[in-house]
Each structure stands twice: as structure tokens, then as C-alpha cells.
Chain A
């Protein structure tokens, strides 16, 4: 029944490691997003994919690489993790580029 799901829910790792967060939506939407929520709860978009094509890349460090194997999935891979990467990462999807977005439950990443 879950519309937008993310795994894992929690991720604790050491600096310098590489990790991935997975996102899947079963809504049949064409567009998917990654947002970062910092410790002050500020939400900012990182990436947007439409029909597996990168649409928005908000000057995110190239250590972050999104990958969309199909329209239902948008994964986020992070290389060489830094302390400042600690945040909650939200995946979202929308039917089209100009529709309301549905959010996943978030992945809390802690870099030690």
C-alpha cells in the first residue's frame, strides 16, 4: 500500500564511506525527486528526474549521484561521505512536472 517508500530508514556510517539510499513509488508517476532536510528542518531540493531523465540538479556536490533505472525508482548514491552530509533525505514523486508531490518517510543519514 505504501505510495513512496525509502530504504533504509536509518543509516549510520563513517566518514569516507560510500552509501546508497533507494526510493520506489507505486503511484505510476513520471517524476521523482530527492530533497535534503538539514538539522534545522530546512528542506531543499537536490535532484529531479522525469521519465528517467535528469531535469533538476541543484548544484549538489558531484559526490552525490542519482540513478533512475526505471520510472518507479530513483536511487541516491553518495561517495566519500562527509560530516555535513548528515541529514534526512526525502524522496518524492509527482504525476507530472507540475503536479503535487508525494513524499516518502525519509532516510536519516548520520555520518560519524
Chain B
């Protein structure tokens, strides 16, 4: 069955430090992969996506992610974290079942940023 695992429930980093959020997926074919961010009390905002091509994708707010097929991973990175990056981050994979984009989400990683 398709699934997404985010191993880290909660991560705390200092402002200015680098960040890597892990995401592993289980899917039989080449997946579409997404990272969304949810700020407190807000909806989900798409940070970046991977459909095909270059395995290193750039997103908004200085984030990037690298698709590694051999490791079934799509880890999110940022070289220098800002206090405003504190939020919940969700990795998602799709589509399935004949192309229907039923996103499967990971459980999320809550990022806290120390000043």
C-alpha cells in the first residue's frame, strides 16, 4: 500500500542553522512528491513539488528538496532557518488509481525555531 513516513515528529533548530526534514515514501511507480507547510491556524501552502526531471527541486521561501529513488526519499532542506519558518511540514505523495491525484500525507513534522 502507498504510504508516506516522516520519521521526525518534532524538530527544534536555532535561527540561522541549516535544516533537513526527512520523508520516505512507499509507492510502486514514479511518484509525484510534494512538501506543504501549515502555519498555526492556517491552511496548507505548497512549498515545492517533484513530478519528473531534475531530482533537486527548488521551492518558495528558500527551500529545496531532493528526490532519491534508490532511497525512496524526498527530504526537504533549507541552508539557514528563519524564525518565521516555525510551522508544521507535510510531505505528500500522489497520484494513484489511474491518475487520480489522491494525495497521501505523512504525519507531519513540527518545526520549532530558537532565537
Say whether A and B bind each other.
yes
A-to-B contact residues, CB < 8 Å? 4, 31, 35, 40-45, 48, 55-56, 58, 90, 92, 94, 97-106
B43 beta carbon closer than 8 Å to chain A: yes
Contact with A along B17-32 (1 / 0, CB 8 A): 0000000000000001
- Bound CA–CA A104/B38 (angstroms): 11
Query: Assuming A41-B88, A97-B95, is B43 touching A90 (CB within 8 A)?
Result: yes
Query: Assuming A94-B101, A97-B101, is B43 touching A103 (CB within 8 A)?
Result: yes
Query: Assuming A48-B102, A97-B99, A97-B101, is B107 touching A103 (CB within 8 A)?
Result: no
Within 8 Å CB of A48, what residues of B?
100-102
- Choose one: B44, B99, B102, B108; the contact of A103 (CB below 8 Å): B44
- Choose one: B32, B90, B97, B100; the contact of A43 (CB below 8 Å): B90
Q: Which residue of A lies closest to B49 (CB)?
A: A100
Q: Is the interface of B mostly helix, strand, loop or mixed?
A: strand
B-to-A contact residues, CB < 8 Å? 32, 34, 36, 38, 42-46, 49, 88, 90, 94-95, 97, 99-103, 105, 107-108
Within 8 Å CB of B42, what residues of A?
105-106
Within 8 Å CB of B38, what residues of A?
41
Query: Assuming A41-B88, A105-B42, A106-B43, is B32 touching A98 (CB within 8 A)?
Result: yes
- Choose one: A31, A35, A41, A105; the contact of B107 (CB below 8 Å): A41
